[in-house]
Amino acid sequence: MPSNPNSKPNANSPANSNAKPNEPAAQQPTTELDARYSSALNPRPGAADVTATPWPDAERLLREAEIFWAVTVRPDGRLHVTPVIAAWHDGAVHFSTGPAEQKAKNLAHNSRCALVTGGNSLTEGLDIVIEGTAQRVDDPTRLEEVVAAYEAQYGPHITSPDGTFHGMGGAIRKGDDLVFRVAPGTAYGFGRDDGVFTHTRWTF
The predicted pLDDT at position 1 comes to: 35
Least confident of 6-10, 70-74, 123-127, 181-185: 6-10
Percent of the chain with pLDDT strictly greater than 90: 75
- Tell me the longest C-alpha to C-alpha distance in the chain: 55
Neighbouring C-beta atoms of residue 7, cutoff 10 Å: 13
* Residue burial 173-193, b: 16+ Cβ < 10 Å; e: rest: eeeebbbbbbbbbebbbbbbe
Cβ-contact 57, 126 below 8 angstroms: yes
The predicted pLDDT at position 26 comes to: 56
Residues with Cβ < 8 Å from 45, sequence gap 6 or more?
none
* Whether the predicted pLDDT of 13 surpasses 50: no
The pairing of beta strand 68-73 with beta strand 30-33: unpaired
The predicted pLDDT at position 99 comes to: 97
Whole-angstrom Cα distance, residue 191 to residue 31?
14
